[in-house]
Each structure stands twice: as C-alpha cells, then as structure tokens.
Amino acid sequence: WNFIPKNLFEQFRRIANFYFLIIFLVQLIIDTPTSPMTSGLPLFFVITVTAIKQGYEDWIRHKADNAVNQCPVHVTQHGKVVRKQSQKLRVGDIVQVKEDETFPCDLILLSTSREDGTCFVTTASLDGESSHKTYYAVQDTKAFNTAEEVDTLHSTIECEQPHKHINKCSILQTLTIPLGSENLLLRGATLKNTEYIHAVVIYTGMETKMALNYQSKSQKRSAVEKSMNAYLIVYLCILISKALINTVLKYVWQANPNRDEPWYNQKTETERQRHLIRAFTDFLAFMVLFNYIIPVSMYVTVEMQKFLGSYFILWDDDMFDEELGEGPLVNTSDLNEELGQVEYVFTDKTGTLTENNMELRECCVDGHVYCTCVSHQEREELFFRALCLCHTVQVKEEETVDGIKRGIYQGKSTSFYISSSPDEVALVEGMKRSINLLNLKTCNVVFLCAFVFILPRFELLEVLNFDSVRRRMSVIVRSSSGEYYLFCKGADSSVFPRVVSGKLEQVRARVEHNAVEGLRTLCVAYKKLTHEEYEETCHLLNSAKLALRERDKKLAEAYDVIEKDFILLGATAVEDRLQDKAADTIESLHKAGMKVWVLTGDKMETAAATCYASKLFHRNTQILELTTKRTEEQSLHDMLTRADTFTHTCRSHRLSDDYQDYGLIIDGATLSAVLKPTQEGTSNGGNYKEIFLEICRNCSAVLCCRMAPLQKAQIVKLIKASKEHPITLAIGDGANDVSMILEAHVGIGIMGKEGRQAARNSDYAITKFKHLKKMLLVHGHYYYIRIAELVQYFFYKNVCFIFPQFLYQFFCGFSQQPLYDTAYLTLYNISFTSLPILLYSLMEQHINMDILKRDPSLYRDIAKNSLLRWPTFIYWTFLGVFDAMVFFFGAFFLFDNTTFTSNGQDTHPSSHDSLQGQMNEQEDTWIKHFTLFGTVHVELKRIYSETFNLKEKLEAFSTNKVYFSDSLT
C-alpha cells in the first residue's frame, strides 16, 4: 500500500523531476504564458512510466517473498505432523525437515534419521559453498526419532537476543548442555544426504542470522548519469540567466511608454506601476517560458533504453553455456554503459580463472614422488591410510545442486563423493583410482577394503575440523589392534612448524616446485598416541566444548596443544585447470587498456603460476615482491621506496627500446601494513598508501595473494578512491568474492561450483570467465556509444527547440508570448523527438561486432567517458544554438512579406470597415500568423531530427566501411 508514496519520494529526488514539479506548481499559482498542462502532462507521463517499470519489479519481488513466506513446513503438534506456512512458525515449534528441503528459520538440531545423530547440510545460499557440512544433534535428544517421541520433550532453550554471532545454551531437564555452531541449522541452508531431521525453532523472520547479515547494496551510479546531472545543472544556470536577462530587458523596453502601449490597448495607471513582486512574477513567467531547455523526458527515455537494451545480453547465444544450460543474467540494467568504461578488472582465481575442478596429480612420500602407485611399504601405507581417514567425505548416489543433477551416468545412478572441500574429494577419488580402494563411512567406524589386500578396521574417535585460521584438519582414530593415531593434513605453512621428524627439506622442495607449477598442495603428518595421551586429549576437547564462555577461543587453544610433535609423511599436489580461453580474455583486456588484478587467498607460488599461465605475467616481466618473507629481510619502507624507484624508471622508458615490464605481487599481511593509517617509528608515516598506489600505476599487472574477503573489498575501494577515480569491475564466483563485487562500480558473478551467492549479489552474471571479453568489448562498447549519443542528442534538440523562443522575445517586446502552440510544447519531447532517438539508441552498431572482438584497442577510443566530456558537451550546445538561429531566422525571412507593421497595424486597412472590425480581423490574422510561424519551426526541427539520425547512421556506416577497408589493407 505504501508503494506509491515511496515511489514518488524516490522519483522526485531527481533534479529534473523536482524542477518540473516546481514549474508546474508555479504555472498553477501565477499567470504564466503557457498552460500548466505543458509541464504537467510530460511530468505525469515520465512519473507514470517510471512507476510502472519499478512497480513491475516490486511485484516480482513481492511474488518471490510470498513464495518463501507461504512455503509449507511440517510441524509436530500433539504427536502428529501437520503442514503450516513458514510465516506462521513461532519460537519453540518443532519442525520436521526432509532431504533437499531448505530450513525455514534458525533451528537447533534435536534428532536425525541417522544413528549417529548427524546430518549433512549445504550452505550455498549463505556462504556460496555448495560442499557438504556435518552437523550434530543434541546428545540427550538424538534418540527421539518419531513425532510421538519428539512431542514428549519438555525443555528450555536459553539464548541471547538475536544478533549476528549467536551464543546460546540449552537446559534439558536438570542438566545444562552448551550448544555450539555444530548444533545450529541456519535459515537458507539445505538438508542433504539425510532422510529427515527434527529440530526446534529458535529464531524466525528478521531475527534469523541470515536476515541480520543482509548487506544492503550501495547505490551505484554510472559515469554517464553523473555527466547528465552535471549538464542539467549547467542548463539550469543557462535557464536562470535567460530568464533574468529577459526580465531586465523587458523593463528596459517598457521604460518608453510608447513601445509598451499599442494604440488599441493602452494601459491603466495600475498597470503602469512597477514593483518588486511584479518583477519576480515576470521572472517566474520567463522561467516557465524557457523551462523546456531542461529535457524532462530524458530520464524515462534513458531508463527505457537501458531496460530494453539489457535484453541483448540475455539473447546472446555466444554467452550461453551448454553444460549448465544457462545464459547470462542482468540483475540491474542501470549500469549497462559502465561496461564500456572499465579501467580496472579485479578477478578471483579459483573458480574464476580456473575451473575449480580438482584432480590429484601426484603424491610425495618422504621425498619420493608417486604419480600412480600401489605400495606396501610402511611409510607409504601410513601416508595413504592418512588420506583415506583424514577427511569429511561422504558417499552420495544422486543429488541436484543449483538445478544440475550429479551422480547420473547413462541414465543410471552412480555413487560419487561429497565433502566440505573439493580438495578432499580429489584426494579420495585419487586414492580410489591409484590403489583401487573403496572408502565407506558408516556411523563412527571407517572400513577400508581393497581388491588386493585388506587394511585394518579403524574407529573414528574425534574430528578436529578445518578452519581458515589453522588451515588444517585432524582426526583421531583407533585401529582394530587398539593403537591410537592422530592424522593431520593442511597447508605447508601450518604443518611444517609442527613437525619434529621426517624428510622435511625434501618434501618442502617438492611442495615449492609444485606450487610454482600451479598445483594446490597439502602436507600430511601423523603421530601415535598412548592410551593416557588419548584420555588427556579427550578431556581437553570436552572441557573446551562444554565451556559456556569463549568456547571457540578455548577450542582453538585445545587444537593448538593437541596438534604438535608431528612426524611428516609427505605432501599431495592437486591440479585446478585454467578455464577455457581465460588467457585470451586477459590478453584482450590488456590490449583494451584495462589493468587486471588477481585477488586470491592461495599461496603466492600457486597464484603466480596461474598468472603466468593466464598471461597476466609474461616470462620477461620483472616481478616485484612485497611479501611477508621479503619484509623479514628488509624494512617495508625500504621495499616500497626501491619498488617505486624501479617503476618510475620503467615509466620514463616506456616508449624506448629498453622498456622493462613490471608486475607486482603482494600478500595480505603486507597489505595490512601498507594500509595502516599511520606507520609508527618512521619519518614517512602515513604515506605508504600513496607510494603503493604509485607503484601499482606503473605496473602492468598486480597479484594479491593470501587475501581475506574484506581485504579484497579494501583493494577495490582503495583504487576507486585514488585521484584518477577509475571505473572498476570485480568478478568472482564464491561468497568470499561478494564484498568486492558489491564494492566495485560493476560487479559480475560467475555461476560456478561454489553456489550462486556471487551471482545473486552481482550486477551481471555469466557462466564462464571467457564471456567477459564479449560483455565488455562488444556489449559495453555498444551500450556506451548508444547512451552517450542519446544524452547528447537530448540536450542538443532542446536547445534547438527553446532558443528560438528566447530570440522571439526580442521581436515581441519581451511580452512572454509563446512561439509554439501548447500541443507542440507537450508533444515535442514526449513523442516527436524521443521515439526516433530511442529506436536509434537501441539498434545502432557503428562498428561491426566481429571487428570489435578482433581489435580490442577500439575500446580505448571510448575510455574515460570520452564522448561526454565538457568540450564535446559545449560543441553540441553551440551546434544547437547555431541550428536554432538557422531555424528561427530562416522562418523569419520566409514570413518577411507580412502586411503587419511592428506595432500591429495593417498597412492597407479597408475604408468601409469599422475600427472594431479591423481590430478583430487583424487579431485573427495575427494569431494564425504566429501559429503558422511556430508550426513551421516545429516541423523543421522534427524533420531535421529524423534527418540527423539518418545522417549519423550513414556516417557510422561509411566509417565502418573505411575501417573494414583499412583492416583488409
């Protein structure tokens, strides 16, 4: 019900709409030379069309809201399962969720269909990860599996007020049981690989963690829209100047009574009096007379052009992905022309430049490399046993992820692996292929079977889950012979410092070699535990898990104590292949004048190898490193100063033969030091940011590795705020890329294997990185050219239309006499000139599409808003003034044989006519004369505008032919 007032408020925040509203009110209040309809009708048309468009979008959102709010949910009541709308759920209700269903609110897991009380969940809509995570039921309730049993529960859940980080404890009967994140199922997540669960509602609606973490999108405005607003202010100043000049000249003209008093209509004494209020009303009247210099219909025409033009991306068959069965998406059409102005491209690596399709390439055990191996040596057996046990992989028959069915081969269901990490799946699949092992996980017992030999049976006792801070995971298992093992795998930087024995140097060398080759590496280690050590470990873990305060911190401390004194077994190397035509796309973006930065969380060696493979770096590129390893050797200040000197020398020799190309690599820790507001202990405090920006400007490419999601957004914001204020684009496929996608001027999401979070939060979504080339070089180029000519033409045609009205006042004694009929004033902007330029701005292709793709350097011709700079704007304005003078004086001399004198008298009056009859006849003739004069003006402008469009088209066609001939030559 409140759509109309809210929509009107938003629309009248625009300068042009608010201005015309004021003009319309002035026309209603005072006596003006034109009818209020001349301003009211165009304004009503613009407001109505915009409201219909936005109302349709709001209706679509309303339908989506209803689909969620009215979704049926199964609730346990009085020992029976009944259906209920999700919007009617209340805190304390016990719901039953089945496999592949989405959780309607935040829930505490009570019981599951699995004997061990676990369930598996995908959180793609929350964090973008489509991998499966394990959650655990409350120990005291996991045996309640039926609706009747669940209905007998009488318990109290105590938790804090809703906020982003939820701390809670559960009171069941007389025991206080602390609940952790492993018991909390968040709204928006989906149940997988579990038949059903029972859970109790704790937060609903806007109190859910998903709703509390909503991040509102900032209002993004294109460079063209900013130019439009600046031009409107200039034209508003011109309008005020014209009204002021005419007001002054009117009173100068009226200083001679004979000029202002026709012989047939002399003024009274009251009318001859001059006062300030009358002068002000005259000024407002002139403002109304000349107000059409402001193009009120420009905004609605621009919106229609953007909305209709966005379908060219949706209809592009070249950007359709056969594998996914999807094409590109346009989440907002307001930034179409911004695609043609991009200067910086910030891209993620994994899943964006690479396929995010992991495959095990090799294993290094004690320094020995195995590509395909079956070995029965003790160390090798321990290594492979660790890989088979230390994971969270599950077996799945068939599932659908984002509409794509997995586990179907030739129409039949086949089992496949699912996990919280694609690396884990690659390792287990690699083990299965290499040594023909079949890994089955049932309850807390792990069985390992082989066709050649039988490995012992192991019982899984504890899982120390992976987290981004530790960058490792561990499991504690017990063999059938009663021995306890702790197996650990993780990043080299987190495992090597905890190793006390093993072939450390040999494995380290192999890890560094694989990282340079672009492979993702993991290190594997283990240690044996005595029964006493295991009991102590369990006590330490249980104490941390039962802590009511700072549980996460105490768990981290417990993990730190447990995971040490390892024996290094070896390392694995997993390949993540480069996407098809990723290198060609980056090369084309460079030729188009864009700078490409890679922002990734991977280690420097792996990321650098990908940059070389994707042609971001070339073999002759000299790399400057600003990393933690380098800062240990010399101070950050010295590193920055040295790099700045190198790149300045590079810029001074850019056009010479000895030009050296530079690339920059920086890691997250060094970036944090660079971005600190002050640098204590240095005389150069606070200037590191500027030095860093200067280095980046002089480098052809930049790689930022070991980056946190918020650091990615900081980098984008830093470049946006630099003195050049460049247009930025961010592209990624995961939830960790959402922050930089929202921060950039243009955000593009890739519909990859990490869910749809990035695609949903982006302005545009594509299926592959290679489609970015056509989106920018072709669609972006066309969009900018079309919208720029549309805006230029609108200002031009309004100058042509209203400047003759200004000139006409010099011939009518500044009497505020309108030159045009009311119908022409109303229809000129709405239909006569808007529709032809709208069609032109939708279909114009000044250069063939194939040429734009073949020659990326053409993108440079439209860079930095080149078609809407001030010299171009002034040229179009003076062109409009010149054409207006041609129209006015051409029509003036055409009507130069009039029988009227300058004071309105007929030079040949009939002797037999009465004076009153002569006056009436002269008045009718005079009105017809002015009507015809104004009509000729409008028709001349209408015909000229259509001819102008044709002329532009022919010029573009001839230019295209010339360019094609040159390219052939």
Binding-site residues from annotation for ATP: 348-350, 424, 466, 489, 520, 600-602, 706, 712, 736-737
Distance CA 716, CA 729 (A): 9
Contact indicator for 580, 614 with CB cutoff of 8 Å: no
| 734, two tokens | 């995961």
Q: Are the C-beta atoms of 305 and 838 separated by less than 8 Å?
A: yes
**Residue 348 is among the residues annotated as catalytic for this protein:** yes
DSSP 727-765: -EEEEESSGGGHHHHHHSSEEEEE--SS-SHHHHHSSEE
Q: In 584-696, at which residue ranges do the beta strands (DSSP E only) sit?
A: 595-599, 622-626, 662-667
Rounded to 10 degrees, what is the CA torsion of 889, 892, 894, 895?
Answer: 180
Whole-angstrom distance, CA of residue 901 vs CA of residue 127: 81
Please, are residues 776 and 745 in contact by the beta-carbon 8 Å criterion?
no
Give one word for 508, left, alpha or beta, with left for phi > 0 and alpha for psi -120 to 50: alpha
DSSP state of 238: H
Burial class (CB in 10 A: 0-12, 13-18, 19+), 934: buried
Torsion of CA 272, 274, 275, 276, to 10 degrees: 130
Q: What is the 3-state secondary structure (H, E, C) of 828-867?
A: HHHHHCHHHHHHHHHHCCCCCHHHHHHCHHHHHHHHHHHH
d(CA 271, CA 261) in angstroms, rounded, equals 11
CA distance 386 to 487: 6
The two tokens of residue 656 are 């010479």
Residue 56 C-alpha from the chain's centroid: 22
Beta strand spans in 343-433 (E)? 344-347, 354-365, 368-370, 394-396, 399-401, 404-406, 408-409, 412-413, 416-418
| 335, 697, 731, 855 from 593: Cα distances, Å | 20, 13, 18, 12
Q: Which amino acid is at 85?
A: Q
Q: 715-737: b or e for each residue (b if 16 or more CB lie within 10 Å)? A: bbebbbeeeeebbbbbbbbbbbb
Identity of the amino acid at 859: Y
Quote the tokens at residue 252: 């100068």
Report the binding-site residues.
Answer: 348-350, 424, 466, 489, 520, 600-602, 706, 712, 733, 736-737
Strands 156-159 and 354-365: unpaired
Q: Show the beta-strand stretches assigned E in 600-682.
A: 622-626, 662-667
Q: Would you say 743 and 720 are in contact if contact means Cβ atoms under 8 Å apart?
A: yes
Among 106, 282, 348, 423, which one carries the catalytic annotation? 348
Residue type, 354: T
**Three-class DSSP category at 546:** coil
For residue 157, give the H/E element and its range.
strand 156-159
Q: In what order do the strands lie in the sheet with 329-330?
A: 329-330, 764-766, 746-750, 728-732, 344-347, 595-599, 701-705, 662-667, 622-626
The secondary structure of 51-82 as a DSSP string is HHHHHHHHHHHHHHHHHHHT-EEEEEETTEEE
- Name, in order, each residue with C-beta under 8 angstroms of 591's C-beta and a sequence gap of 6 or more: 856, 857
Binding residues for Mg(2+): 348, 350, 733, 737
Q: Residue 925 and residue 183: Cα distance in Å, rounded?
A: 90
Which residues are catalytic, by number? 348
